Amino acid sequence: MDIQDIQSIKQRFKIIGNNRNLNRAIEIAVQVAGTDLTVLINGESGTGKDVIPQIIHQNSSRKHKNYFAINCGAIPEGTIDSELFGHEKGSFTGAIDTRKGYFEVADGGTIFLDEVGELPLATQARLLRVLENGEFIKVGSSKVQKTDVRIVAATNLNIPLAIEKGKFREDLYYRLNTVPIRIPALRERKEDIKLLFRKFATDFAEKYRMPAVQLTQEAVTMMENYRWDGNIRQLKNITEQISIIEEERIITPEILKNYLPNNNVTSLPTLYKGGKDEDPLSERDILYKVLFDMKNDILELRRTVKELSENRNVNIQHLPEAQNITPIDATVISSTDEEEDTFVYVQDEEDAVVSVHEEESLSLVQTEKDLICKALERHKGKRKDAAKELGISERTLYRKINEYKINL
């Protein structure tokens, strides 16, 4: 396929750009159009993946049949099987009549499944059967129906990673990926950014009846060095903003930077527990968590000191970081505050004795009780999940519930 044929396809489908990878994607699409091979298009959001299925359909023998573009991510999980495969009357609440699905209506044509990575696993199994045998069953029916449909799929997800996480079927991936086509991101098409901006600026000038905006060479360089996470969609939106808002028609880097989001912003870490259905911890909960961890550290230190006190021949340097501790020459050190925990260290010429007063602090006890109650309330009484959040075993949590007489 020569360059003139590719340019003809671009003009027909209004594709702007001369990038080599883009030309290669168009060339592959035209070559496979005459076959029934399944095509999987991969590319970031906003790169224009929806154009490739149209090229395939219009250059195939199915061009006079139906073509459907379906956004799988926009259809609710509970109704997607009905949308794709149809349903029988009375098969579920609200099914007041028999309905044909896309695979039945598009028989002999082409179906473009956009965001195919968002399909539920159950629907993936149904789709795999269509790809392998051309068979499907309507929701609520037991009758197997046949269909002859060309499937073109697209996704912006990392499918191999989704397979590892168990969110996508490996056998379906290999069945869809018969012919892979990759659409390059806009940041990989720097030479096309100026052409795309000029096209969008001209279109908006005609739409809003105003002179078209133009970029200085410095502004063009600034755009070429920008990351463009939203790709062509983001470039189009920014061009429209500039065309409407700016009175100056010559756009300089000083003007342009007001419309380009800062991609160098770093996100600070935040404390978050649980899955997507749980609320973030409040500031009070975070403080409770910190105090609870501190209490565990104190109890661990008490146990260590008590073990050392029971061994009269132990050397104080066996304690962690003890090499930085200077022994105190004293006969007796005592505390007059009986409500607080007291650590007493006594050393004379013969031996060292460490005694510990192990009265629980009422404030820490109450804090621990409150934290346990909050965790149980957050997880609706599920001890296993609450124990996991608190960082303790389920058995320890059960003992604490009985100790504090917490009512579930």
Inter-residue contact 184 to 44 (CB < 8 Å): no
pLDDT tens by residue, 321-358: 444 444 444 444 344 444 444 444 444 444 433 444 44
Q: What's the mean pLDDT in 313-322?
A: 48
Is 264 inside any structural domain? no
Closest CA to 123 of 166, 79, 156, 157: 79
User: For 168-222, what is each residue's pLDDT tens digit?
Assistant: 999 999 999 999 999 999 999 999 999 999 999 999 999 999 999 999 999 999 9
pLDDT for 363 equals: 61
Determine the Cα–Cα distance for residues 400 and 383; give it in Å rounded to an integer.
11
Confidence class for position 386, pLDDT limits 50, 70, 90: confident
Number of structural domains, the chain?
A: 3
CA dihedral 318, 323, 325, 328 (to 10 degrees): 70
Same domain, 244 and 277: no
| DSSP secondary structure, 80-127, as one string | HHHHHH-B-TTSSTT--S-B--HHHHTTTSEEEEETGGGS-HHHHHHH
The whole-angstrom separation of Cα 375 and Cα 391 is 11
Do 31 and 93 lie in a common domain? yes
Query: At 35, which CATH number?
Result: 3.40.50.300
* C-alpha to C-alpha distance for 331 and 328, rounded to whole angstroms: 9
Has residue 262 been placed in a domain? no
Do both 149 and 87 map to the same domain? yes
Structure-token pair, residue 169:
């079927």
pLDDT digits (tens, 9 = 90+) for 115-164: 999 999 999 999 999 999 999 999 999 999 999 999 999 999 999 999 99
**pLDDT confidence of residue 362:** 53
The model's confidence at residue 94, banded by pLDDT at 50, 70 and 90, is confident
> Domain range spanning residue 361?
271-408
The answer to whether residues 252 and 218 touch, using CB atoms and an 8 Å cutoff, is yes
Higher local confidence (pLDDT), 108 or 392: 108
CA pair distance 154, 340, nearest whole angstrom? 66
100 and 167 share a domain? yes
Whole-angstrom distance, CA of residue 378 vs CA of residue 123: 33
